[in-house]
Amino acid sequence: MQRPIPCLFMRGGTSHGPFFRASDLPADVATRDRVLLAVMGSPDARQIDGIGGADPLTSKVGIVCAGTDGVDLEFLFAQVSLKEPRVDTTPNCGNMLAAVVPFALETGIVQARGDVTTLRVLTRNTGTLSDIEVQTPGGRVEYAGSARIDGVPGTAAPVNIALLDTAGSVCGALFPTGNLVDVFDGVDVTCIDNGMPVVVMRAADLGVTGYESRDELNGNAALKRRIESIRLQAGPAMKLGDVTQKVVPKMCLASAPKETGHLNTRFFIPHDCHSAVGVLGAVTAATAAVTPGTVANRVARVPDGARKAFSVQHPTGEFTVVLEMDAARPNEVARASLLRTARLMMRGEVLIPGDIWKSHS
């Protein structure tokens, strides 16, 4: 017999995946991870026997429950590996975060609070908080609207996310090595964590322009070997330990922006080039870019003012992050906010083989 598990399939930003109430999954972590692997169809590059999308951007899971002590919701993000039987709950995902409040409203975990609902969400992966604003006219989630984000066709209702206290949320410090610039394999890098551990390198220092397509970069085996060598050295230096089996740190090739942008990027997550850019990766890269002395700052075009609408360019467009600088320390970022969209695409039950999870114990 197969076992049904209630879930909603949702898009959050430029990612999508199943969302579950925490109470509908096993409490035991090892059993939960086996369930999620079965749900997504991993390990298998095509994820043919599950509902994963055969891409790191679409092999993601959201797990949500009610919060306590001033927190409305708790969110656990799970990155499910395609080719290995591994579920990683180390990193955040700002794209999937955009679907948390709509999911909670759709499933009755929380109720709408007027025509606009703002809830405080704790991301359990890293202990970070965010205030998320969703349109709820008539007490129901509104998905239609005029907001547009690169990487998603059409327009939708805005989901506004204000990130709180993200600096050092994974590594313990904004610059976890204690340096603005480190050198690995003869390449200058900046190791930074403003919600996502990222290693920023100048694309030119690795022999590319930074304007190559995703497929071109993924096909460059020599480049990927160099990036992985740097990543394996940067991980311990960033207090992440051995990162061989981890999806962090993300690796960012930075180059000068074109036209009206402020920084051009190509992100590896961590071994394949991202078709766009992750939310918290963009926040972290932008933070590096506005900080004098970093590798990113060397190639960035930094806008003036204490409130900077910073455009991070990527293979399929751009992502704007709003950075508010600290009044007392004008070279430091005090707060970041961003615009995403989300949509409920399917509701029902996902079925897994009965021997994966035999009881609720």
b vs e for 225-251, b when ≥16 Cβ sit within 10 Å of the residue's Cβ?
ebbbebbebbbebbbbeebeebbbbbb
pLDDT of residue 359: 64
Q: State residue 185's pLDDT score.
A: 98
Q: Can you tell me the distance from the alpha carbon of 95 to that of 40, in angstroms, rounded to the nearest whole number?
A: 18
Whether the CB-CB separation of 106 and 92 falls below 8 Å is answered with no
Q: Report domain extents, the chain.
A: 2-158+342-353, 182-337
What is the per-residue pLDDT for 94? 93
pLDDT mean over 119-148: 96
Give the separation between CA 249 and CA 32, rounded to whole angstroms: 24
- What is the tens place of the pLDDT at every residue in 59-85? 999 999 999 999 999 999 999 999 999
Residue 58's pLDDT is what? Answer: 95
Per CATH, which fold does 2-158+342-353 belong to?
Answer: Diaminopimelate Epimerase; Chain A, domain 1 (3.10.310)
Q: Which CATH number fits domain 182-337: 3.40.50.720, 3.30.1360.170, 3.10.310.10, 3.30.470.30?
A: 3.10.310.10
In this structure, the strands spanning 73-80 and 116-123 are parallel
216 pLDDT higher than 80: yes
What pLDDT shows up at residue 165?
A: 85
**Is residue 358 very low, low, confident or very high in pLDDT (cuts 50, 70, 90)?**
confident
Half-sphere exposure of 218 (CA within 13 A, CB side): 11
pLDDT of residue 23: 98
% of the chain residues with pLDDT over 90 = 94
Q: Is the pTM of this model over 0.75?
A: yes
Q: Is the pLDDT of residue 361 over 50?
A: no
The pLDDT of residue 260: 87
Q: What whole-number distance in Å separates Cα of residue 110 and Cα of residue 106?
A: 9
pLDDT digits (tens, 9 = 90+) for 174-215: 999 999 999 999 999 999 999 999 999 999 999 999 999 999
Given a contact cutoff of 8 angstroms between Cβ atoms, the answer to whether 236 and 244 are in contact is: no
Both tokens of residue 53? 């999308």
- CATH fold match for the domains 2-158+342-353 and 182-337: yes
The pLDDT of residue 360 is above 60: no
Residues 26, 233: Cα–Cα separation, whole Å: 35
Q: How many CA atoms lie within 13 A of 197 on its CB side?
A: 27
Per-residue pLDDT, averaged over 321-343, amounts to 94
3-class DSSP state of 28: coil
What integer best gives the mean pLDDT of the chain? 96
Determine how many CB atoms are found less than 10 A away from the CB of residue 355.
11
d(CA 351, CA 39) in angstroms, rounded, equals: 7
